[in-house]
Structure 1
């Protein structure tokens, strides 16, 4: 088995579907939400209050700035899916074209990267979560089974003179930050 998808063990009995391509020429595998999920609009939270405050010519104190900044934090929408691949491959997650256009949902990092060693990590079994921000004016209700992102397997290259990393992944999402 070179590459593919599995349902994480904790969600095997929840009727989830593995990602699939929708047409013959499609490069991306559509990922679905594993559960109903409400994505709050950024405009209904502290961010809007901070903008109003700044528009009036006022300075933001540290507390208001922190609250506004936190309101822009993306939400992690679970998929219940994990991906296996070759060591020199990566699964890249992208917006579906309908996400920003019809739903006002975006991946804030532009592209999500799922490394081969994320698969079956001890923290979350390698479950893929899609980071999303709702920049629409109202909260957006994602329903279980809604397609929320697309993933493409891609080989990658490394530099000739690279000092090979020796660290083994020990955690899940964001585990390699220092």
Structure 2
């Protein structure tokens, strides 16, 4: 099996572009947004309230703080794309270098990892979403077709003393880390 990209059936008629490299030596395949998307500024999402509570010890419990912090979660921008690859490979999702500088957009974990067995999973057909947080003061309007991230196919190694893993993926986004 080779590696590559396909459009998920939900977006089959949406005129999406398969991820592409923009130069001959580019490692990353540029991913575009599948639809218009408004990414709200973190400053509108109780960010200041959470900071204030932390600074002044005004949370009555860890549960209160966790609930407040959940309002600061990243947003999932749809790409309408799924990726297929060989065993012992994954697709690393990275931010575009221009996102933080020009628009204040960051990936909350720094990277994303798309496992080979995410492809065609029954929950969402393996659609790739780019997690983003808008650190800017204003909301950011992402237009359909705008480049929002990049993917790099990468091989990985496993430990030699590892027991054979027999579990198979049964879900979509975030399902391998139950």
For normalisation by structure 2, the TM-score amounts to: 0.94
Residues 1:51 and 2:84 aligned together: no
Instruction: String of CA shifts for 1:99-149, please: whole Å, max 9, x gaps.
Output: 111111111011100011000000000000111111111111111011000
- 3-state DSSP class of the match of 2:175? coil
User: Residue in 2 aligned with 1:169?
Assistant: 169
Worse overlay, 66-75 or 148-157? 66-75
User: Residue in 2 aligned with 1:7?
Assistant: 7
Residues 1:60 and 2:96 aligned together: no
User: Residue in 2 aligned with 1:107?
Assistant: 107
1:41, distance to aligned residue in structure 2 (A): 0.9
Distance between the aligned counterparts of 1:155 and 1:69, measured in 2? 35
User: Residue in 2 aligned with 1:158?
Assistant: 158
User: Residue in 2 aligned with 1:119?
Assistant: 119
2:35 and 2:143 in contact (8 A); partners too: yes
Flag as ranges the 4+ runs of structure 1 deviating above 6 A.
none
Distance between the aligned counterparts of 2:119 and 2:54, measured in 1? 44
Residues 1:83 and 2:83 aligned together: yes
1:50 and 1:64 in contact (8 A); partners too: no
1:71, distance to aligned residue in structure 2 (A): 2.1
Distance between the aligned counterparts of 1:142 and 1:67, measured in 2? 28
Distance between the aligned counterparts of 2:54 and 2:177, measured in 1? 33
Distance between the aligned counterparts of 1:8 and 1:31, measured in 2? 14
Closer, same or farther in 2 for the Cα pair 1:114/1:53, shift >3 Å? closer
Distance between the aligned counterparts of 1:107 and 1:143, measured in 2? 18
1:91 and 1:115 in contact (8 A); partners too: yes
User: Residue in 1 aligned with 2:98?
Assistant: 98
What residue ranges of structure 1 are gaps of 5+ in the alignment? none
Q: Give the number of equivalent residue pairs.
A: 177
Distance between the aligned counterparts of 2:53 and 2:83, measured in 1? 45
